[in-house]
């Protein structure tokens, strides 16, 4: 908990007159920081979440030496004075200035969101700070933005001033409309922050920071609607002011028009395939990809659905709860992969599981009433459990359900409701919000440099799960948001997956050689071969321990397990052949081959099933989700069927029901690797054959029905595939335990025999 | 394309997925099977322990066992496989048994032996396979038939001297000889009861040379001397007799015996394993379920209202999201009661407040509350129960609990003798349920579960009230616990989801619900039986006598009809409807919506969104009078876009197929004029008339005596949450 703030802090103009309760709250979330002489309190580019008050020493705030502003001193803050107030303007944005301590100093950092609440509740309104500072800061920010935006950058200083004066800030919530199609255009908009999406008509485009949204020509009604994809801030420039500028600088109008076309083109260029089967292109939720700093994605063609990611996550946390749930939407992107530079970028199907993506501007943080959600200097979003009151606001606020409410690990008995007054910390509720902490809190070696990653990433046996920064990793996102991508940094190249094939084939060759040399089946067991099998078996068994307890990446161990397994089979052939006398040795041999066969089955399933499953799946689903989804689809299907014409009903019973119920056809489409889209086309063809092209009017809208039918049948296929991937593992584990037990007995008896 | 979900009203809770519980249902079965398999393997391994050598392929023959023949006598060094070729015989068997003395008398066998294709072990299995008879030489003719590690005692009248006769299983001969062919010399050898079976033994004991002659000359061993005495022929005869009266001996237990021995142990392990697999799962599931107080059953007696301590409220929205009626709002980061009149008295807001800033205060006594006891029976009319909205406690989950609670009380109060058998004609039943909403269906399910005979009357269709819920999403913070069906978990679902579940349950359980039957009279006879008369839509009356009555009619009442003076042409009777079931079927139609309440507005909005639909709204007032701000804004936007048209201050006067005539006050003022518009369907959504008179007729009195309840205006549509 923070130390008590020096009294001088409360004399700062910003904090003057805050109530005792607000003081207690700010004390709780605020931080006392000592800065050495010349040390930075913040630098340009840092997240602007807090306002600072000097307790001791002095701090200089200055603009960076590069750029339009030439290193000018902005402020010299002495004890009792505040700096960094620009954060109050735009929470979630980044600093443009830097603050350096002139002498060894102590500063107090107060999260702006909490300050806002405290001041608003005190009755004074935000006015105290915001109104005063906002006027100047907003104007500065507006000027900066317009000076930097490509469209307005070339304007004369006087024109720019005119536009700055004419600019009004518009804040939009996620999903809020800026304007609707057909609305009369009164403004030209420049996006200051967030993401605005144009919908309707043919042109579909996304507008990010610095982009211009305008009707063409300027006064015509809008041809599309504009909706905020996420919380956004837009500068509205009055049309008359813009028209005024245009009369002096006709090129300005051309630049505005060009900007709109450019946005549409960017979109067109970056669109990849999107199919109805639940796999979407990046535009399905571009905002999510824009704000995600550390997005967890799972390569669906490599993921064996073992769930070790979630399992290891639960293990990494004391409460035994997973912060990662393998449910979610899927997207298709291309990615660059290390060691594959010369090839075409590979197209990948990713699952976006439910796991915190550590947003650039976290909705959960703005919603938190106690300031329990913070960002660390690296930008990772954290929840302080000691301040969390379990209200669930963040969990409700996260658009992607990445925060969950869970029982507080050590429940503070009944919520201490009486003394909830000023001392918020004592009023611990029975619930607490949990989310991915990138394993920082669990002591898991997840440092970004360690190379092991958080528990989920290191636990993946197939290296299918990675944390990416979409703006750096996905070319489509980079193309759609070039300005943002430039800010985000260099392109992220994903590490190549170590292939299992050479390991397994190599081990297989050695195993065959051993078995052939000893012409295995008839050989008599020797001590040497026995020791070899025993040692290999022990090594194979050790994998269980390693993969559950290891902090290193599991993949190398997994590959070793595969190779050693193949070797062990060869050695076992050399030692005992396929004999099974009725004794311990015989039982051991039977159990060994049983577990080996199950293991080989599992390896083959891991190799062959995921890509097939990916083709027929609609969403990332856990096995237990399939039954409810099947029921849901059934209901949708019949709801869509009710009230339709007899032709549709006849088609349903004659074509669609047989398709649904056919026991063999799913296997055929599995073998052929057909996608759901292909199946739908097949059904459409069957329908048009049956109707011979007539009755098309009455068949209108059956497309959705066909999709439902295909999706429904896919579930029937998904279920056995999921089981194939899952069910062998417990069998393998149990049989392996049996093998180890029998092996110990076998060794003990052999020793006893020899001793006698 | 992009998803723009409304902010959730229920915070997602951490769940234990199968990734954490690890073993799914199918794989759990597999795991149990694997455990059983493991146990089986273990047992097979363990069963070999203690019987001589662990690695032995079977027990030694009795004479060898008695003579304490060690493994190393035959198995030397690393060689575990005994060389049984002729060469090997010299090493192994010949160490004790003279090879020359045991030469075969048969030329063919001798030739085979010389070629190394026939050895001692071919006929006399070293382990397991050997059979034989040993005579004790005692006076009572006792003998031991042995084989395969087991032995069986017997006795006979003959008394041979002490001797052992090995019996060669015919199986050993079968590789060369055709035992079924009578011309084969060996076919005559099998003896005993088992002569033709797999356990036949050979009676041709003359395989080796005439022992009496050889033995005396060569042997020095006592054992050999005893075996190779002149009485050997007597022993052979006795052996044949012994074989005739005894059968094959083996220590291998039968499968059933094995099962008897290991069955209980296997079962115990199986049960233990299953418990082990299931137990942690249950623990974890319990830990994850939210801490929510069980919902109330008895309605509150006083008006309840939340009160917020502004100095401690942190403005977290928990109460705002929990309130089903939008009573609360957060302003300047502090929650405020903004619509006190809408408060329903369900205290979920207080339950979710994280720091106790929100408390519930009690106000005036509730007037329109039927006087009920704890089991929801009317205090004034015995045998009449009230459940659902009508009782004064809103929300679906409460209605469901109340329906079940009332029927439980009825079942407890009706003795077996007072119950009636179920019959097809409904003339006499245990209970009549009026209304097939959540409370009515729950009551019917409970009656079904308790074996009561019942019938449900519903004036409209099943769960008609749910169809008219104005809110898109219903919020359930707990599973709905339905009788018979068990827990139904919907969380945030649309009313269509709930309706689909509802219809499925009614269909699957085959509940006795009479739809389109309106109850119009309730009488009580001398035996305090209730006679309920309902009228079908066709006008046909149905009369039922019942011991108990459950009123689950809700507060919505019956839809208010068009005024009687509106003329409806005979061919247009099916044009007018009082509820909108599915807007999609009105694609491209011209529709008139009468009314401008929330229900009417939402119907109009839904209809206006159908492609090609032409929607006109008729309202008697000059402007929006009530309703949710969101709906009004949406209506204005749609009107501005031209997607629908509102005729202010208008009333329909006549309806015919294809057209409707309305009387309207022109915006410019002046006398009302009459206009006619083309039209395909008319929706009359002008609220409902509550059925207080039915309640009064059942004898139920309200908490407020003498209130003119029958005339009470109650057409606020039910907005609910669970």
Residues in chain A with CB shorter than 8 Å from the CB of B508 are none
Output the pLDDT for position A419.
39
Q: Kindly report the nearest CA distance between residue A348 and chain B, in angstroms.
A: 21
Mean pLDDT, chain A, whole residue set: 81
- List the single best residue of A305, A415, A420, A749 to mutate versus B (max B Cβ within 10 A): A420
B31, A590: Cβ pair inside 8 Å?
no
Residues in chain A with CB shorter than 8 Å from the CB of B2 are 197, 227, 229, 283-287
Output the pLDDT for position B613.
86
Residues in chain A with CB shorter than 8 Å from the CB of B9 are 396
Going by their DSSP bridges, the two strands A196-199 and B384-386 should be labelled as unpaired
| Confidence grade of residue A465 (pLDDT, cut at 50, 70, 90) | very high
What's B487-533 look like in SS3?
EECCCEEEHHHHHHHHHHHHHHHCCCEECCEEEEEEEECCCCCEEEE
- Which residue of chain B is at minimal alpha-carbon distance from A312? B20
Query: Residue A603 in contact with residue A568, Cβ under 8 Å?
Result: no
- Which residue of chain B is at minimal alpha-carbon distance from A429? B354
List pLDDT tens digits, range B431-459: 999 998 889 999 999 998 888 999 999 98
B23 vs A310, A401, A730: nearest CB: A730
A391, B318: Cβ pair inside 8 Å?
yes
Residues in chain B with CB shorter than 8 Å from the CB of A736 are none
What is the distance between the alpha carbons of residues A741 and B426, in angstroms, rounded to a whole number?
Answer: 68
- Which residue of chain B is at minimal alpha-carbon distance from A123? B332
pLDDT at B722 > cutoff 50:
no
Q: Name the nearest CA neighbour of A515 among A469, A569, A570.
A: A570
Residues 6+ apart with CB under 8 A from B601: B627, B631, B632, B634, B635
Query: Residue A283 in contact with residue A479, Cβ under 8 Å?
Result: no
ipTM field: 0.79
| Confidence grade of residue A412 (pLDDT, cut at 50, 70, 90) | very low
Residues in chain A with CB shorter than 8 Å from the CB of B333 are 116-117, 120-121, 369
Output the pLDDT for position A666.
77
Residues 6+ apart with CB under 8 A from A65: A71
- Which residue of chain A is at minimal alpha-carbon distance from B290? A407
| Confidence grade of residue A130 (pLDDT, cut at 50, 70, 90) | low
Percent of chain B with pLDDT over 70: 75
3-class state of residue A59 by DSSP: strand
What is the distance between the alpha carbons of residues A662 and A709, in angstroms, rounded to a whole number?
Answer: 12
Residues in chain B with CB shorter than 8 Å from the CB of A395 are 8, 11-12
Residues in chain B with CB shorter than 8 Å from the CB of A19 are 311
List pLDDT tens digits, range A607-659: 999 988 888 887 888 888 888 888 888 888 887 887 677 888 888 888 888 88
Both structure tokens of A143: 């000027």
Residues in chain B with CB shorter than 8 Å from the CB of A753 are 53-55
Q: Name the nearest CA neighbour of B604 among B612, A681, B246, B595.
A: B595
Determine phi and psi for B56, rounding to 5 degrees.
Answer: -65, 140
| Confidence grade of residue A281 (pLDDT, cut at 50, 70, 90) | confident
State the Cα angle at B669 between B666 and B670, rounded to 5°.
90
B354 vs A21, A390, A401: nearest CB: A390
pLDDT at B488 > cutoff 50:
yes
Q: Kindly report the nearest CA distance between residue B196 and chain A, in angstroms.
A: 28
Residues 6+ apart with CB under 8 A from B287: A407
Query: Residue A751 in contact with residue A593, Cβ under 8 Å?
Result: no
* Chains A & B: contacts with CB separation below 8 Å: 244
User: Within an 8 Å CB–CB cutoff, is residue B283 touching chain A?
Assistant: no
A594 burial level (CB within 10 Å; 0-12, 13-18, 19+): buried
Terminal-to-terminal C-alpha distance of chain B: 31
User: Within an 8 Å CB–CB cutoff, is residue B56 touching chain A?
Assistant: yes
Residues in chain A with CB shorter than 8 Å from the CB of B27 are 723, 726-727, 729-730
pLDDT at A132 > cutoff 90:
no
- Which residue of chain A is at minimal alpha-carbon distance from B500? A635
Both structure tokens of B516: 């389109």
Output the pLDDT for position B61.
80
pLDDT at B388 > cutoff 60:
yes
B17 vs A622, A734, A741: nearest CB: A622
Mean predicted confidence (pLDDT) in A240-268: 81
**What single string gives the DSSP state of each residue in B565-621?**
TSEE-GGGTTTEES--S-GGGGTT-EEEEE--SHHHHHHHHHHHTSTT-EEEEE-SS
Q: Kindly report the nearest CA distance between residue A333 and chain B, in angstroms.
A: 17
Q: Name the nearest CA neighbour of B502 among A635, A633, A640.
A: A635
Q: Which domains, from first to last, does chain B contain?
A: 21-45+269-288 (no CATH), 62-250 (no CATH), 302-365 (3.30.70.20), 384-559+696-702 (3.50.50.60), 567-686 (3.50.50.60)
Please compute Rg for chain A using Cα positions. 32
Mean pLDDT, chain B, whole residue set: 77
- Which residue of chain B is at minimal alpha-carbon distance from A314? B20
Q: Which residue is it, tokens 């769960």?
A: B463
Output the pLDDT for position B41.
63
A389 vs B12, B316, B333: nearest CB: B316
- List the single best residue of B45, B273, B331, B494 to mutate versus A (max A Cβ within 10 A): B45
Both structure tokens of A682: 């097949």
Query: Residue B64 in contact with residue B162, Cβ under 8 Å?
Result: no
List pLDDT tens digits, range B245-294: 877 777 655 445 545 555 566 666 667 666 665 555 544 544 565 555 56
Q: Kindly report the nearest CA distance between residue A252 and chain B, in angstroms.
A: 31
B13, A405: Cβ pair inside 8 Å?
yes
Both structure tokens of A655: 């074509």
Facing residues of B655 across strands? B568, B660
Output the pLDDT for position B128.
64
A524, B311: Cβ pair inside 8 Å?
no
Residues in chain A with CB shorter than 8 Å from the CB of B582 are 643
What is the distance between the alpha carbons of residues A214 and A257, in angstroms, rounded to a whole number?
Answer: 8
Residues 582-601 of B with CB under 8 A from A: 582, 584-585
Output the pLDDT for position B277.
59
Q: Which residue is it, tokens 């979710």?
A: B352
List pLDDT tens digits, range B67-102: 777 776 776 654 444 444 444 444 577 777 777 777
Q: Which residue is it, tokens 């068009």?
A: B562
What is the distance between the alpha carbons of residues A158 and A165, in angstroms, rounded to a whole number?
Answer: 11
A745, B334: Cβ pair inside 8 Å?
no
Query: Residue B358 in contact with residue B308, Cβ under 8 Å?
Result: yes
Output the pLDDT for position A536.
94
Going by their DSSP bridges, the two strands B688-689 and B558-559 should be labelled as antiparallel
List pLDDT tens digits, range B601-610: 888 988 888 8
B45, A390: Cβ pair inside 8 Å?
no
pLDDT at B711 > cutoff 50:
no
pLDDT at A160 > cutoff 70:
yes
A734, B35: Cβ pair inside 8 Å?
yes
* A354 compared with B599, residue with greater pLDDT: A354
Q: Kindly report the nearest CA distance between residue B143 and chain A, in angstroms.
A: 31
What is the distance between the alpha carbons of residues B520 and B507, in angstroms, rounded to a whole number?
Answer: 27
Output the pLDDT for position B265.
61
Residues in chain A with CB shorter than 8 Å from the CB of B30 are 727, 730-731
Per-range mean pLDDT, top range of A214-228, A462-476, B619-633, B658-672: A462-476
A639 burial level (CB within 10 Å; 0-12, 13-18, 19+): middle
Residues in chain A with CB shorter than 8 Å from the CB of B4 are 174-175, 227, 229
Q: Kindly report the nearest CA distance between residue A391 and chain B, in angstroms.
A: 6
Other C-beta atoms lying within 10 Å of the C-beta of residue A376? 12
Residues 326-355 of B with CB under 8 A from A: 332-334, 352, 354-355
Query: Residue A738 in contact with residue B45, Cβ under 8 Å?
Result: no
List pLDDT tens digits, range A696-729: 666 666 788 888 888 888 888 888 898 889 888 8
Q: Kindly report the nearest CA distance between residue B633 and chain A, in angstroms.
A: 14
| Confidence grade of residue B549 (pLDDT, cut at 50, 70, 90) | very high
A284 vs B1, B8, B291: nearest CB: B1
Q: Name the nearest CA neighbour of A395 among B291, B489, B318.
A: B318
Q: Kindly report the nearest CA distance between residue A670 and chain B, in angstroms.
A: 22
List pLDDT tens digits, range A1-26: 457 888 888 888 778 777 888 888 88
What is the distance between the alpha carbons of residues B415 and B413, in angstroms, rounded to a whole number?
Answer: 6
Strand order across the beta sheet in which B163-167 lies? B150-155, B142-147, B131-135, B163-167
Residues in chain A with CB shorter than 8 Å from the CB of B252 are none
Mean predicted confidence (pLDDT) in A676-695: 80
What is the distance between the alpha carbons of residues A252 and A599, in angstroms, rounded to a whole number?
Answer: 68
Q: Which residue is it, tokens 């079931």?
A: B581
Least confident of A140-144, B131-135, B625-629, B682-686: B625-629
| Confidence grade of residue A538 (pLDDT, cut at 50, 70, 90) | very high
A624, B24: Cβ pair inside 8 Å?
yes
Q: Kindly report the nearest CA distance between residue A668 and chain B, in angstroms.
A: 25
List pLDDT tens digits, range B120-129: 877 887 776 6
B332, A125: Cβ pair inside 8 Å?
yes
Buried b (16+ CB within 10 A) or exposed e, B306-331: bebbeebbbbbbbbbbbbbbebbebe
Residues 386-445 of B with CB under 8 A from A: none
B356, A204: Cβ pair inside 8 Å?
no
List pLDDT tens digits, range B136-192: 877 788 888 888 777 888 888 877 888 888 888 887 787 788 887 888 888 888 887
């Amino acid at each position: 908990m923070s130390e008590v703030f020096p009294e001088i802090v409360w004399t700062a103009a910003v904090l003057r007159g805050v109530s005792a309760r607000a003081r207690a709250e700010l004390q709780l979330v605020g931080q006392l920081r000592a800065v050495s002489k010349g040390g930075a309190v913040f630098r340009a580019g840092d997240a602007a979440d807090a306002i600072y008050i000097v307790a001791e020493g002095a701090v200089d705030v200055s603009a960076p030496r590069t750029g339009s502003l030439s290193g000018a001193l902005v402020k010299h803050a002495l004890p009792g004075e505040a700096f960094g107030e620009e954060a109050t303007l735009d929470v979630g944005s980044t600093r443009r200035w830097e603050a350096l301590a002139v002498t060894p100093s102590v500063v107090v950092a107060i999260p702006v969101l909490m300050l806002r609440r405290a001041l608003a509740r005190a009755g004074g309104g935000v006015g105290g700070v915001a109104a005063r500072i906002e006027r100047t800061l907003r104007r500065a920010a507006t000027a900066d933005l317009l000076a930097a935006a490509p469209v307005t950058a070339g304007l004369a200083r006087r024109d720019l001033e005119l536009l700055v004066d004419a600019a009004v800030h518009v804040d939009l919530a996620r999903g809020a409309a800026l304007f609707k199609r057909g609305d009369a255009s009164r403004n030209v908009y420049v996006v200051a922050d967030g993401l605005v999406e144009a919908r309707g008509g043919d042109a579909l485009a996304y507008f990010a920071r610095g982009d211009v949204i305008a009707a063409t020509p300027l006064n015509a009604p809008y041809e599309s609607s504009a909706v905020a994809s996420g919380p956004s801030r837009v500068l509205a420039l009055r049309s008359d002011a813009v028209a005024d500028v245009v009369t002096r600088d006709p090129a300005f109008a051309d630049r505005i028009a060009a900007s709109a076309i450019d946005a549409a083109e960017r979109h067109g260029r970056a669109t990849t395939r999107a199919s109805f089967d639940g796999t979407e292109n990046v535009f399905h939720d571009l905002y999510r990809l824009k704000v995600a700093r550390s997005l967890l994605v799972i390569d669906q063609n490599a993921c064996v659905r073992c769930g070790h990611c979630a399992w290891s996550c639960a293990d990494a946390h004391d409460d035994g709860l997973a912060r990662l749930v393998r449910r979610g939407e899927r997207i298709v992107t291309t990615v660059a992969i290390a060691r594959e530079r010369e090839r075409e970028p590979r197209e990948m199907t990713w699952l976006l599981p439910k796991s915190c993506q550590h947003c650039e501007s976290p909705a959960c943080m703005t919603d938190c009433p106690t300031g329990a959600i913070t960002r660390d200097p690296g930008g990772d979003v954290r929840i302080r459990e000691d301040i969390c009151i379990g209200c669930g606001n963040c969990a409700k606020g996260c658009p992607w359900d990445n925060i969950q409410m869970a029982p507080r690990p050590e429940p503070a008995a009944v919520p201490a409701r009486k003394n909830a007054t000023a001392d918020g910390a004592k009023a611990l509720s029975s619930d607490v919000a949990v989310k991915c902490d990138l394993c920082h809190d669990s002591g898991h070696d997840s440092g970004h440099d360690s190379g092991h990653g958080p528990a989920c990433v290191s636990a993946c046996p197939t290296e299918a799960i990675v944390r990416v920064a979409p703006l750096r990793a996905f070319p489509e996102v980079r193309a759609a948001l070039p300005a943002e991508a430039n800010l985000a940094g260099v392109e992220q190249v994903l590490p190549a997956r170590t292939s299992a094939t050479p390991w397994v084939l190599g081990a297989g060759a050695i195993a065959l050689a051993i078995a052939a040399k000893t012409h295995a089946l008839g050989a008599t067991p020797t001590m040497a071969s026995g020791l070899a099998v025993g040692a290999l078996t022990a090594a194979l068994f050790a994998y269980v321990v390693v993969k559950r307890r290891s902090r290193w990446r599991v993949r190398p161990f997994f590959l070793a397990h595969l190779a050693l397994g193949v070797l062990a089979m060869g050695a076992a052939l050399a030692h005992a052949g396929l004999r099974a006398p009725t004794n311990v040795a015989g039982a051991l041999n039977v159990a060994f081959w049983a577990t080996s066969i199950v293991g080989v089955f599992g390896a083959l399933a891991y190799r062959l099933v995921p890509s097939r499953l990916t083709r027929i799946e609609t969403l990332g689903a856990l096995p237990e989700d399939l039954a409810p989804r099947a029921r849901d689809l059934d209901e949708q299907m019949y709801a869509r069927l009710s009230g339709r014409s007899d032709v549709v009903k006849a088609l349903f019973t004659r074509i669609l029901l047989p398709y649904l119920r056919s026991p063999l056809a799913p296997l055929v489409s599995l073998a052929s690797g057909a996608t759901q889209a292909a199946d739908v086309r097949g059904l459409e063809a069957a329908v048009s054959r049956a109707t011979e092209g007539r009755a098309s009017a009455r068949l209108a809208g059956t497309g959705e029905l066909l999709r439902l039918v295909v999706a429904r049948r896919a579930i029937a296929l998904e279920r056995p595939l999921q089981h194939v991937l899952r069910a062998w593992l417990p069998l393998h584990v149990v049989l392996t335990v049996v093998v180890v037990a029998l092996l110990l007995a076998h060794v003990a008896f052999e020793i006893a025999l020899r001793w006698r | 394309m992009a998803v723009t979900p409304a902010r959730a009203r229920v915070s997602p809770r951490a769940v234990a997925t199968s990734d954490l519980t690890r073993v799914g249902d199918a794989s759990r079965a597999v795991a149990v099977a694997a455990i059983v398999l493991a146990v089986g393997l273990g047992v097979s391994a363990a069963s070999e322990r203690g019987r001589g050598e662990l690695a032995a392929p079977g027990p030694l023959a009795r004479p060898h066992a008695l003579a304490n023949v060690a493994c190393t006598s035959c198995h030397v060094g690393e060689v575990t496989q005994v060389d049984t070729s002729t060469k090997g015989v010299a090493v192994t068997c010949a160490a004790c048994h003279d090879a020359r003395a045991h030469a075969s008398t048969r030329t063919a066998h001798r030739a085979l032996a010389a070629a190394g294709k026939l050895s001692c072990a071919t006929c006399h299995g070293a382990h397991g396979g050997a059979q034989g008879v040993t005579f004790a030489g005692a006076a009572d003719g006792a003998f031991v038939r042995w084989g395969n590690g087991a032995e069986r005692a017997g006795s006979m009248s003959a008394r041979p001297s002490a001797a052992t006769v090995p019996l060669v299983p015919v199986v050993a001969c079968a590789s060369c000889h055709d035992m079924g062919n009578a011309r084969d010399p060996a076919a005559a050898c099998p003896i005993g009861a088992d002569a033709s079976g797999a356990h036949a033994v050979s009676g041709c004991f003359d395989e080796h040379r005439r022992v009496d002659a050889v033995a005396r000359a060569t042997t020095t061993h006592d054992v050999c001397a005893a075996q190779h005495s002149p009485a050997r022929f007597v022993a052979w005869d006795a052996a044949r007799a012994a074989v005739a009266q005894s059968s094959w001996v083996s220590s291998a237990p039968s499968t059933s015996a094995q099962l008897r021995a290991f069955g209980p142990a296997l079962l115990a392990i199986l049960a233990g394993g299953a418990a082990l697999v299931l137990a942690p799962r249950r623990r974890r599931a319990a830990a994850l379920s939210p801490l929510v107080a069980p919902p109330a059953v008895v309605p509150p007696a006083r008006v309840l209202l939340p009160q917020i301590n502004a100095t401690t409220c942190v403005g977290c929205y928990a109460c705002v999201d929990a309130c089903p009626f939008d009573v609360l709002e957060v302003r300047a980061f502090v929650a405020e009661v903004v619509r006190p009149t809408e408060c329903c008295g369900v205290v979920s807001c207080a339950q979710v407040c994280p720091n106790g800033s929100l408390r519930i205060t009690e106000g005036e006594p509730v007037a329109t509350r039927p006087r009920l006891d704890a089991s929801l029976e009317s205090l004034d009319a015995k045998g009449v129960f009230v459940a659902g909205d009508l009782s004064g406690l809103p929300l679906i989950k409460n209605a469901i609990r109340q329906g079940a609670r009332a029927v439980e009380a009825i079942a407890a109060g009706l003795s077996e003798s007072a119950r009636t058998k179920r019959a097809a004609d409904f003339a006499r039943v245990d209970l009549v349920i009026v209304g097939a909403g959540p409370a009515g269906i729950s009551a019917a399910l409970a009656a079904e579960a308790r074996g009561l005979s019942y019938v449900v009357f519903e004036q409209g269709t099943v769960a008609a009230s749910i169809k008219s819920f104005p809110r898109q999403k219903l919020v359930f913070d707990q599973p709905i616990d339905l009788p018979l069906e068990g827990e139904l978990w919907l969380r945030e679902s649309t009313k269509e989801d709930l309706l689909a579940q509802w219809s499925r349950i009614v269909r699957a359980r085959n509940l006795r619900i009479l739809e389109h039957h309106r109850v119009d009279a309730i009488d009580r006879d001398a035996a305090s039986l209730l006679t309920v008369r309902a009228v079908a839509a066709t006008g046909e009356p149905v009369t039922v006598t019942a011991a108990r009555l459950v009123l689950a009619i809700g507060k919505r009442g019956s839809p208010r009809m068009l005024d009687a003076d509106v003329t409806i042409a005979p061919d247009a009777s099916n044009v007018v409807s009082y509820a909108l079931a599915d807007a999609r079927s009105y694609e491209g139609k011209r529709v008139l919506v009468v009314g401008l309440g929330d229900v009417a507005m939402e119907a109009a909005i839904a209809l206006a969104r159908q492609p090609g639909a032409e929607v006109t709204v008729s309202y008697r007032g000059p402007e929006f009078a009530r309703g949710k701000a969101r709906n009004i804004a949406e209506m204005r936007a749609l009107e501005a876009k031209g997607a629908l048209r509102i005729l202010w201050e208008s009333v329909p006067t006549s309806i015919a197929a294809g057209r409707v005539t309305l009387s309207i006050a022109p915006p410019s003022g002046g006398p009302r004029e009459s206009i006619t518009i083309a039209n395909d369907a008319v929706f009359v959504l002008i609220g409902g008339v509550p059925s207080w008179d039915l309640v009064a007729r059942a004898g139920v009195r309200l908490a407020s005596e003498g209130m003119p309840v029958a005339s009470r205006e109650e057409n606020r549509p039910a907005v609910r949450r669970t």
